[in-house]
Structure 1
């Protein structure tokens, strides 16, 4: 089986409270498309209530059950609807990953007066003012929950810093008195990148740790999710997550798949973070940026180096590959949107190869019609080819800057495929698919129309013609596809 994950949301979903219901209704279809896991958005109440995507975490215990921040439901629905979505997906044979946001809290209920020192936003180790008293929203009492489920009150002692001084009505970054930034975070940016946003949680505080561990065990037990996606790893104490994950794994009787978001193009930083932790995967951010930069100069891009400096090339088992996510969308803080015309090729490069665990982005699969964001038309066909055909030994021909290719020989699980990514008119690449295919006819199901015959040694000359992406399958396999294998042209930019 070829595993495949769906990021089951995007930033710009409508805030209508229907997303959990829609995901439950899609469960059978997602399973039929070959998805083995779905990463759902943060399920707890955010500071912006029904408009919060989930990363402005307010109350981790409120999954859409209590009247807080203007409503009972979250952007996506109620607690019962969330639980139904989880159960429906699992019932269809799909694992569910929960999005975990423990770095910060936002939307405090009460002001506190706190001794703090302002630091330089570009170098958080540099103080730019004398220590003084600020006023900020650091006390979280969760009045709408009234102590149900948990009675812990968060106050200034639970945090290391903030980005708002209510008394002066201005933003900035302040480190609280008696607190220090964690030293096992990303130190390559801003002097120390512990602080990200909101009220920065002091992960070294034992009361805080106990609270987050208690909550984590409750969440896993209550929801029954199969795995976790960890937000903002580069801003969080590495030792905290090592301890917390060990406790979480000890609290469940099943394997807990965990993938982290460490947003950097620096492969060495990813390799250092992942270390010898065999049970932790990371998103392959460098690969995403290779796709992004391919669009900056599509006529001059060196396709033969697309996997240079990537996690999937060095640690294929623990690399979760992706083309786009909610943070890379237009107008987001990490905006690095891959050109739409290049996305079919990018998806082929993560879906039809043997290395990595590919993650498909919700907006690329379904589009966002209200925002004028189209779906990637070729994506359903590429996913079906992954599920049915992309098996067996892989042979790479990444030997020219303007046309690259690879083949999958096939196995008992599927018959194999041949793929070309090209920016050269009239390109042809001779590739081997294996002697077991000698005499077969292979048809181009994606790209320019074409038919090739495999010679007695298992080779053929595969033309790319004028298409950026060309995918060939054995003729019988092509005829069996349910996504109509009409020639879907993927033109160059």
Structure 2
């Protein structure tokens, strides 16, 4: 979700009520889904390499984005990317202008003339199908952005629960997942959902009808996106707005990788949510630690508590995304951090394609995929320097230097009497570790080196 709106959402958190009795609502039968060609559904391993966030806020409209990403997929795969995270792919209330976070018709991937146009901002149904096929042919998983806290674009209707009118009458052209005031807060009983967003109608996840269309029906969002469209995994937007069991049930209905946007810098809170949802979470604790370390010139902040240090299996690390991009001093050092440490790193499209040195990022991706294994030992940190090692095979030592001059430091490695080299090319040294595994390494000003066996 876009940051400026999310701040508003935080101020609107409130308890609401909903009904679990669906007899009051006329049954909506499962309609025929729009024609789509199933993609190759071969299981893929997501999370072992690097994810690409394949969009940014206000990326080009006009229905060109799916084709743009399709053209980049082969080079990303060659670089070592194993998954692409797409923006919300269905019709929003602002039609061709929508970034997808104002969902109206969850089954209109650009094939129905509604909300002012047929295509979505990003393209047509045929073009997203082609993109997913291209990704699968290059052995990349495709992560769908799932926005199920709120909806937008409904018509006004009389609402007996509010005593007035609400914009809760949703009649999507797809004929799938029609909604009324019974399906949104407030309605007639207490709900476990706690988060509203920007004044939009807030879906009631306690309703059986809503659960059926999210993940239980044979052509629910979860099953249609997985089995018909060919998505491999899920990024859940604004998960503070509903209980973690929603993510758990959705994922369990169809499988696949799942990560939630639980926007909180407290590592313990992130861990609690991830365990409850049985899902990964974006590691905002890591993000804020890197921001404070680099913007405040205090690399000891990299020793802060993070989800990746509590449960690396659940941590998706990132340096920037479509909502927040606060690391502007030596951002490449933050990428050197996440691509050498535990967790599943996600690269931001604009950093890779526009703003940073792509060769350096490709080098870091290669190092991550080939050298960064095993547990982590934190060796040294002060205002300007940070050193850590990965204890796998072959493992590595990363040395980050945010000072104005070259620095050198003796460190204890995992290798005895072994020649090592810097795989970034920033240092030409090829020292031999002592029998006790100690060695002197160096790093350039506002730069980094990453050492491993030759």
TM-score by length of 2: 0.81
Displacement of 1:452 = 4.7
Map of 1:342 onto structure 2: 330
Q: Provide the C-alpha distance between the structure 2 equivalents of 1:61 and 1:409, rounded to a whole number of angstroms.
A: 46
Does residue 47 of the first structure (1) align with residue 102 of the second (2)?
no
Q: Does the C-alpha gap of structure 1 residues 56 and 317 become closer, same or farther in structure 2, counting only changes over 3 Å?
A: same
The 5-angstrom pairing of residues 444-459 of structure 1 reads 445=424, 447=426, 449-457=427-435, 458-459=437-438
Q: Does the C-alpha gap of structure 1 residues 307 and 88 become closer, same or farther in structure 2, counting only changes over 3 Å?
A: farther
Displacement of 1:201 = 0.6
Per-residue CA deviation, residues 218-246 of structure 1 (Å, 9 max, x unaligned), is: 22111122111111111113333333333
Map of 1:460 onto structure 2: 439
| Uncovered stretches (5+) of structure 2, i.e. residues with no partner | 1-46
How many pairs align? 402
Q: Does the C-alpha gap of structure 1 residues 344 and 388 become closer, same or farther in structure 2, counting only changes over 3 Å?
A: same
Displacement of 1:427 = 2.7
Q: Provide the C-alpha distance between the structure 2 equivalents of 1:100 and 1:82, rounded to a whole number of angstroms.
A: 16
Conserved in 1, the CA contact under 8 Å of 2:92 and 2:103? yes
Displacement of 1:2 = 4.7
Q: Does the C-alpha gap of structure 1 residues 262 and 22 become closer, same or farther in structure 2, counting only changes over 3 Å?
A: same
Determine which structure has greater relative contact order: mean sequence separation of CA pairs < 8 Å that are 6+ residues apart, divided by chain length: 2
Which of 172, 179, 183 is equivalent to 1:158?
183
The 5-angstrom pairing of residues 118-197 of structure 1 reads 132-133=163-164, 135-142=165-172, 144-145=173-174, 147=175, 150=176, 152-160=177-185, 176=186, 178=188, 180=190, 182-183=191-192, 185=194, 193-195=195-197, 197=199
Does residue 351 of the first structure (1) align with residue 339 of the second (2)?
yes
Map of 1:286 onto structure 2: 285
Conserved in 2, the CA contact under 8 Å of 1:442 and 1:454? no
Query: More strand per residue: 1 or 2?
Result: 1
Displacement of 1:296 = 3.7
Task: Say which SS state the counterpart of residue 221 (structure 1) adopts.
Answer: helix
Does residue 383 of the first structure (1) align with residue 365 of the second (2)?
yes
Map of 1:219 onto structure 2: 225
Conserved in 1, the CA contact under 8 Å of 2:193 and 2:204? no
The 5-angstrom pairing of residues 50-449 of structure 1 reads 50-108=96-154, 110-115=155-160, 132-133=163-164, 135-142=165-172, 144-145=173-174, 147=175, 150=176, 152-160=177-185, 176=186, 178=188, 180=190, 182-183=191-192, 185=194, 193-195=195-197, 197-213=199-215, 214=217, 215=220, 216-249=222-255, 256-275=256-275, 279-298=278-297, 301=298, 303-329=299-325, 337-339=326-328, 341-353=329-341, 355-367=342-354, 374-377=355-358, 378-391=360-373, 394-408=376-390, 411=393, 416=396, 418-423=398-403, 425-435=405-415, 438=418, 440=419, 442-443=421-422, 445=424, 447=426, 449=427
Displacement of 1:416 = 4.1
Displacement of 1:269 = 1.9
TM-score by length of 1: 0.75
Q: Provide the C-alpha distance between the structure 1 equivalents of 2:413 and 2:230, rounded to a whole number of angstroms.
A: 43
Conserved in 2, the CA contact under 8 Å of 1:410 and 1:417? no
Q: Provide the C-alpha distance between the structure 1 equivalents of 2:103 and 2:251, rounded to a whole number of angstroms.
A: 20
Task: Say which SS state the counterpart of residue 211 (structure 2) adopts.
Answer: helix
Q: Provide the C-alpha distance between the structure 2 equivalents of 1:2 and 1:139, rounded to a whole number of angstroms.
A: 43
Q: Provide the C-alpha distance between the structure 2 equivalents of 1:197 and 1:30, rounded to a whole number of angstroms.
A: 38
Q: Provide the C-alpha distance between the structure 2 equivalents of 1:269 and 1:436, rounded to a whole number of angstroms.
A: 40
Displacement of 1:73 = 0.9
What RMSD, in angstroms, separates the aligned Cα atoms of the two structures? Answer: 2.6
Map of 1:470 onto structure 2: 448
Q: Does the C-alpha gap of structure 1 residues 474 and 179 become closer, same or farther in structure 2, counting only changes over 3 Å?
A: closer
Map of 1:35 onto structure 2: 81
